[in-house]
Amino acid sequence: MDVNTNSGCSARAERKQQEKARIIQREKQRQTVKTVSRLLQKAEAERTPEDRALLQEHRDTVQELSRRHSRRALLKRKQEEVFDDAESLKAKVRQMAEALQQAKHVVIYTGAGISTAASIPDYRGPNGVWTQLQKGRSVSASDLSRAEPTLTHMCIWMLHKVKMVQHVVSQNCDGLHLRSGLPRHALSELHGNMFIEVCDSCSPAREFIRLFDVTERTALHRHGTGRLCPHCRAQLRDTIVHFGERGTLEQPLNWKGAAEAAEQADLILCLGSSLKVLKKYSCLWCMNRPANKRPKLYIVNLQWTPKDTLATLKIHGKCDAMMGLLMEELGLGTPVYNRSQDPIFSLAKPLSPQEQKSHTREEIAPPAALEDASPDTQAQGEATAVQGGWFGRGYTKARRKKKTV
Three-state DSSP at 18 gives helix
| pLDDT score of 137 more than 60 | no
Q: How confident is the model at residue 350 (pLDDT cuts 50, 70, 90)?
A: very high
Looking at residue 146, the DSSP 8-state letter turns out to be G
Q: How confident is the model at residue 389 (pLDDT cuts 50, 70, 90)?
A: low
pLDDT of residue 391: 54
Query: Phi, psi at residue 207, to the nearest 5°?
Result: -100, 145
The more confident residue out of 138 and 253 is 253
pLDDT of residue 390: 52
The more confident residue out of 118 and 383 is 118
Cross-strand pairs, 297: 268
Task: Supply the residues annotated as catalytic.
Answer: 191
Three-state DSSP at 158 gives helix
C-alpha 342/C-alpha 366 separation (Å) is 9
Residue spans of the domains in the chain: they are 11-78, 86-140+147-196+247-365
Q: How confident is the model at residue 370 (pLDDT cuts 50, 70, 90)?
A: low
Superfamily for domain range 86-140+147-196+247-365:
TPP-binding domain (3.40.50.1220)
* Cβ partners under 8 Å of residue 278, min gap 6: 109, 111, 171, 270, 284
Q: Does 229 count as an annotated binding residue?
A: yes
Three-state DSSP at 224 gives strand
| pLDDT score of 402 more than 50 | no
Burial class (CB in 10 A: 0-12, 13-18, 19+), 128: buried
pLDDT of residue 383: 39
Three-state DSSP at 247 gives coil
For the segment 287-295, the average pLDDT, to the nearest whole number, is: 85
CA atoms within 13 A on the CB side of 221: 3
Three-state DSSP at 222 gives strand
Give the percent of the chain with pLDDT over 70.
83
C-alpha 273/C-alpha 172 separation (Å) is 10
For the segment 181-209, the average pLDDT, to the nearest whole number, is: 95
Cross-strand pairs, 193: none
| pLDDT score of 125 more than 80 | no
Q: List, for residues 19-67, the tens digit of each pLDDT value.
A: 888 888 888 888 888 888 888 888 888 888 888 888 888 888 888 888 8
Q: Residues 37, 65: contact at Cβ < 8 Å?
A: yes
| pLDDT score of 144 more than 50 | yes
Q: How confident is the model at residue 128 (pLDDT cuts 50, 70, 90)?
A: very low
Q: Does 202 count as an annotated binding residue?
A: yes
Give me the sheet containing 267-271, strands edge to edge: 187-189, 167-170, 106-110, 267-271, 296-300, 313-315
For the segment 143-166, the average pLDDT, to the nearest whole number, is: 92
Instruction: Please tell me the pTM assigned to this model.
Output: 0.78
